[in-house]
Chain A
Amino acid sequence: MKKLVIAAAISTSLISIQAQAAGRDTINIVGSSTVYPFATVVAEKFGKKTKFKTPKIESTGSGGGIKLFCAGVGLSTPDITNASRAMKKSEYDKCQKNGVTDITEVQIGYDGIAIANSKKSQQFKLTQKDLFLALAKQVPNPDGSESLVDNPYKTWKQVNDALPDSAIEVLGPPPTSGTRDAFAELAMEGGCKKIVWIKAMKNKDKSAYKALCHTVREDGPYIEAGENDNLIVQKLEKNPNALGIFGFSFLEQNDDKVQGSLVEGKTPEFETISDGSYPISRPLFFYVKNAHASSIPGMKEYLKEFTSEATMGDEGYLLDKGLIPLSATERSTLRKAVIMGTKFNM
């Protein structure tokens, strides 16, 4: 009798595993931890509003998500992957090779990166060049010759006379983070190319140019403070001399404790990020596997919910969570592309 019960239990559990593999009724989403806070809000709303199950969203990071997404077509692979950067050519090729050929790219909006310090101290007015000079591993020789030296700057005043005479101390994400990639690309490279002879280098030796502009110094002033943005905010509160690098939504939630520095004369605000005048902002995406659109219940409805005006429009609920919206025309072309399932090519 006992044996029978055990056998029955094992066989039912096996059947249910197979049943789950054969037909899935939840949308599986993977990808970026930056898009996660936005995608989860939409998923939750979608689950409450409709009769479909709430999609499952894994926070795997952009690269990890795309890897899972491109593993193939089939119900054991995810349907959508979120990314805080555009898909790379190499990743796209891998997708194609594994049979994931019909992908729609959806840009959902922008995310600003703030450089903030404690409200107890003075607000910083930075330029991209200041950031590059203060944080790069190698900088142009201060004597003016066209050569590189290891970063000699210890205080902000040495970098730029207009800045306060305090030690350079910046808390930021580690190299594994997408925020760090975006910071290197937008803030540091942005400042790097303001130096004429370095900009000229780009055409001659692109990889040397990139290494110079993206490499962050390792001699102390840049402190890797982990992936957790809340932790950086807490540390800034304790240390009024430090600056911190983190996502705009965290600045918005904590603006009683920290203030965003001006970059190129612009404060990180909703308006400046969305019109593009604040220079350090990046687009956020998700990618849809169109082959799954018909077999997974609710896929089309989820996409519709995500791209609707009430979600990502000028007054949508994602704005409340800190997403910077696309322009109205961008949104309407996007909506069409999503409904048609427009294939994206690279």
Chain B
Amino acid sequence: MNNTDKVKQSLKKRYAKEKRFQLYGKIAVMTGFVFLGLLLLDIITKAIPAFQSTEILLEIPLDRHTLELSSNIALNEDTLSAIDYAGLVKKSMRQKFPDIKKRKDKKQLYKLISSGAEFDLRDMVISKPELISTTPLLIWVKADDDIDTFFKLQTRTSRVTDKQAEFVEQLILQDQIRTSFNTTFFTASDSREPEQAGIKGALLGSFWTLLVTLFLSLPIGIGAAVYLEEFAPQNKLTDFIEININNLAAVPSIVFGLLGLAVFINFFGMPRSVPLVGGLVLSLMTLPTIIISSRAAIKSVPPSIKEAALGLGASHMQTVFHHVLPLAMPGILTGAIIGMAQALGETAPLLMIGMVAFIVDIPGGVVDSATVLPVQIYLWSDSPERAFTALTAATILVLLAFLAVMNMLAIFLRKHFERRW
């Protein structure tokens, strides 16, 4: 048997081997996709109820007589906030079911609607005093979270009593209960009542934190990369720095949180729970990512361009800032965006600096107490109220959407501005 025959014999085997290998690869990719698909499907199905909220129609008389406001009393914030809104809401509920007499039943009736209804009504009246008139106000108020889950998903726990189920039944017959798009989820801040809870506070907290991170880590990161790549002498010290930057990129993020606690809070006396400290900690974490990717981008600019600039008499600095850096920018920005996306999803370091907290007021700047999106997810997932499951999933979707947009932006920058040589 000569060599050609031997090759021919083994050929089939080798082709089969390659086919098998390709199959393994396909299986690996498919498994990955299946898991991703299952995860997304699970989150999306859980999240859908959060975008709907149940509302109940109330008719509230707002004339001066029922409010016990004589006509000479001016309608200002003080007089308006002194009105007994809780009483008004309860009265209007009682009028819906006039045959309810027992105290116990009344209590159950009042629990149909959200405990925030009276405050919503108050804020509405204060912002629009002309509502005080002889025509009664018709408003849709939010249902309590137990009723909301019962009405939307038809699952019933013992928290919804038989009596309450009966009330809901009657409301359905009278067409006084409906579901509508849950705007509260986007306009409100954290709350312990699921129907009043929203992500605006966490979203803004994330925004302020990332703003600080971006403003610190981008200039420092690019500066370090330019110096190390273009100007620094090659010696033991720069080698040492380089190794340490690479090591820093692999340090678990909680370590940065501990560092932040020790340095920024305990030593510099900065306040806890503020985006400024959060941003500082996260920029420590993203700096290595930005430095490494910026250096790679600067390195990929062809030396011919540098040499041409130097040959025409540009100084080293002019060469770097007029030619190298602009050409490296798309790569640098891609790295920065990926670093930011990483920072957006981080909770562990923020745990140490007090950003895992219940904060209702929406942060207006970098020194207001705030929390961030992933922390909000963590806090809600641990809440006993059933309705928070849906809110948790919905917040995960929002976070995923932001991450997807950021990564798409990175791809876009790379595709459109990157020069190939």
Contact = CB atoms under 8 A, between A and B. Distances in A.
B369 A56 contact: yes
Interface string B373-385: 0000001011111
A33 B384 CA distance: 12
Given A21-B271, A76-B271, A255-B157, A229 B384 contact: yes
Nearest to A17: B367
A256 B156 contact: yes
Nearest to A49: B119
A229 B384 CA distance: 8
Interface in A15-58: 16-17, 20-21, 26, 28, 30, 33, 36-37, 39-41, 43-45, 47-48, 53-54, 56-58
Interface string B255-293: 000000000000001111100100000000000000000
Interface stretch (A214-222, A246-254, A291-299): A246-254
Contacts of B389: 230
A58 B192 contact: no
B345 interface: no
Contacts of A54: 359-361
Contacts of A26: 361, 369
Give the one of B192, B193, B272, B389 with max A CB within 10 A. Answer: B192
Contact of B192 (A21, A37, A315): A37
Contact of A56 (B115, B192, B273, B366): B273
B382 A33 contact: yes
Given A56-B273, A57-B358, A13 B369 contact: no
B358 A250 contact: no
B360 A17 contact: no
A60 B272 CA distance: 13
Contacts of A252: 157-159, 384
A229 B159 contact: no
B174 interface: no
Interface residues of B, number: 38
A250 B381 contact: no
B385 A253 contact: yes
B213 to A, nearest CB: 15
Given A16-B367, A56-B357, A253 B271 contact: no
Contacts of B381: 228, 230
A321 B111 CA distance: 13
B112 interface: no
14 contacts: A17-B271, A17-B367, A26-B369, A37-B383, A39-B358, A40-B192, A43-B360, A47-B361, A57-B357, A60-B356, A247-B384, A252-B159, A253-B157, A256-B157
Interface of B: 107, 111, 115-116, 119, 155-159, 191-193, 269-273, 276, 354, 356-361, 365-367, 369, 379, 381-386, 389
Given A56-B358, A58-B273, 14 more contacts: A13-B367, A36-B358, A45-B115, A48-B116, A58-B354, A227-B382, A252-B159, A252-B384, A254-B386, A255-B157, A255-B158, A256-B156, A256-B158, A321-B384
Nearest 5 A/B pairs, CB to CB: A54-B360, A57-B358, A58-B357, A249-B384, A40-B358
